[in-house]
Chain A
Amino acid sequence: MISTTPPYPIRLDKVWFHARTKPLIKDLSTTIADVEGLTMILGPNGAGKSLLLRLCHGILPAHDGQISWGERQDPGLQDQRQAMVFQRPVHLRRSAAGNIDFALKLHGMPGPERKLRIKEALDLTGLSRYHDTPARLLSFGEQQRLALARAWALAPDLLLLDEPTANLDPAAQRLIEEVLQKMIAGGTRVLMSSHDLNQARRLASQVIFLYRGRIKEQTSAEKFFAGPENDLAQAFLRGELLWWRRRAVFEPDPDKENDDF
């Protein structure tokens, strides 16, 4: 049975995630995607951004605590109300069109409709001429656009992106941002991680600043870029928060001893 309720807001209640014994997400309680637009997860490398996205998507289980999606206690991935674009695009050993077709077939969309949607998705991302090209022969940037095309084709209520433009040239980055803005305008809520501050300024309506597995600040983008309250976020904006371990300009983290490994 296909669910008709959107998978947001995502509520996290005392969520923990460990790698072996090391905690990577620590006692996180918050509500995400409770407002329209794009929520940007900012933070230095190793802050836990990718992990938080996977937890929010429901493809990783929390080791402790609860996550709920809208009215549901499970992510309902089989309903495809949410889609994710990973940092490294993964495509099946089929053509570009075949990859989108695979996702739409899972969705139960009938053949003629799929064909049309595939064409639209490839047009939108500038990949029309690669319709029959094996996806894995495309360049990295083209593969990332294809991953976004696949996500777009599913028309999700919630789209998650893990640094989708991290390795792309400015033109490809712009194209992806344009598609994102179209989807946002169409009502899709987006949760995205990045450490590109300019991109965050362009796209975000909300900002979550993550540091060592904890949310240090969660506010509107306007407020965040005007001047965050958290001192670590301030340092991050100034470009002084260099490294998530000892080279940070400050060491004010209360659970520092926990993190000494």
Chain B
Amino acid sequence: MICRQNFGGSMNDLWQAMTTAINLLVTFDTSLVEIVVRSLGVSLTAVFLATVLGLPLGAVMALSRFPGRRVLLVITHSLMGLPPVVVGLIVLLMLSRSGPLGALGLLFTPTAMIIAQTILVLPIIAALSTTVFESLWQEYEEQLMSLGAGPRARIQALLWDGRFALMTAVLAGFGRANAEVGAVMIVGGNIDHVTRVMTTAIALEASRGDLALALGLGIVLLLLSLAINTASYSVREFARQRYQA
């Protein structure tokens, strides 16, 4: 009997949390919107930085031959599965007051979170873009040489012709940044109004019992993930139909 009552009670709680969550979403609740905006700001900045660093790195690994290239490739691919908490820990050690970059005073700021996520996303974009550049280069090398294309023109051609495949690599990086909780939790500290983002807020509110906000943010995260994958799929389909690429 008690058991049943409890069950019924928790169902009610869940129902109530759900309706409140949807209410928060449709009314653009300020605390929810603030967290979503901060999350997107941190992740998009990190993905932008990782793209700016990762694409040239991928191009270099794909096109040039230098000692240690294979080792670098294996390491980059391994780092794609880097546990976010480990990255968080390393960045924490670097930025903590006694660490080598402690003087910058970045710990528990959004900048620290951006650094951590950039490190997390960089291997994904670098490794995936290496594959894109390698297969394109294999196809284009003779023709581009024959046309007398210099290094700059070659890279430009590969970037432009690989644009769709590279876009999906960047989206994969964004998906990763968006979903991780470990790294930003450690280096950001989940401070309200300062470093609280969607994933850390969910972790906190779930343990504290504010299911409505947690669920509302969870829905936003799921929708974002859906949007990223829809975009990625559409880009691939478009490229396949238009260029048979």
- Using CB atoms and an 8 Å cutoff, list the residues of chain A in contact with chain B: 54, 57, 59, 77-80, 83-84, 86, 90, 92-94, 102-103, 106, 134, 136-137
Contact = CB atoms under 8 A, between A and B. Distances in A.
B149 A106 contact: yes
13 contacts: A77-B145, A77-B148, A78-B150, A79-B148, A83-B147, A90-B143, A92-B161, A93-B161, A94-B161, A102-B157, A106-B148, A134-B242, A137-B242
A137 B149 CA distance: 24
B37 interface: no
Contacts of A83: 146-147
Contact of B147 (A80, A134, A137): A80
Contacts of A54: 142
A79 B157 CA distance: 18
A59 B243 CA distance: 27
Contact of B244 (A77, A90, A102, A137): A137
B193 to A, nearest CB: 47
B140 interface: yes
A80 B148 contact: yes
B245 interface: yes
Nearest to A78: B148
A83 B140 CA distance: 15
Interface residues of B, number: 18
Contacts of B245: 93, 136
A241 to B, nearest CB: 29
Query: Which of B153, B239, B243 has the most chain A CB within a 10 Å cutoff?
Result: B243
Nearest to A104: B147
B236 to A, nearest CB: 13
B192 interface: no
A103 B147 contact: yes
A106 B243 contact: no
A45 B243 CA distance: 32
Contacts of B239: 93
B94 to A, nearest CB: 41
A150 to B, nearest CB: 8
Contacts of A78: 148, 150
Nearest to A81: B148
Nearest to A91: B143
A49 to B, nearest CB: 16
A162 to B, nearest CB: 10
A93 B148 contact: no
Contacts of A84: 146
Interface string B148-159: 111001000100
A148 B208 CA distance: 71
A84 B142 CA distance: 10
Contacts of B139: 90
B243 A136 contact: yes
B147 A59 contact: no
Interface in B123-154: 139-140, 142-143, 145-150, 153
Given A79-B148, A80-B148, A136-B245, A106 B143 contact: no
B144 to A, nearest CB: 9
Given A80-B148, A93-B243, 19 more contacts: A59-B142, A77-B145, A77-B146, A77-B148, A78-B150, A80-B147, A83-B147, A86-B142, A86-B143, A86-B146, A90-B139, A102-B147, A106-B148, A106-B149, A134-B242, A134-B243, A136-B244, A137-B242, A137-B243
Contacts of A94: 161
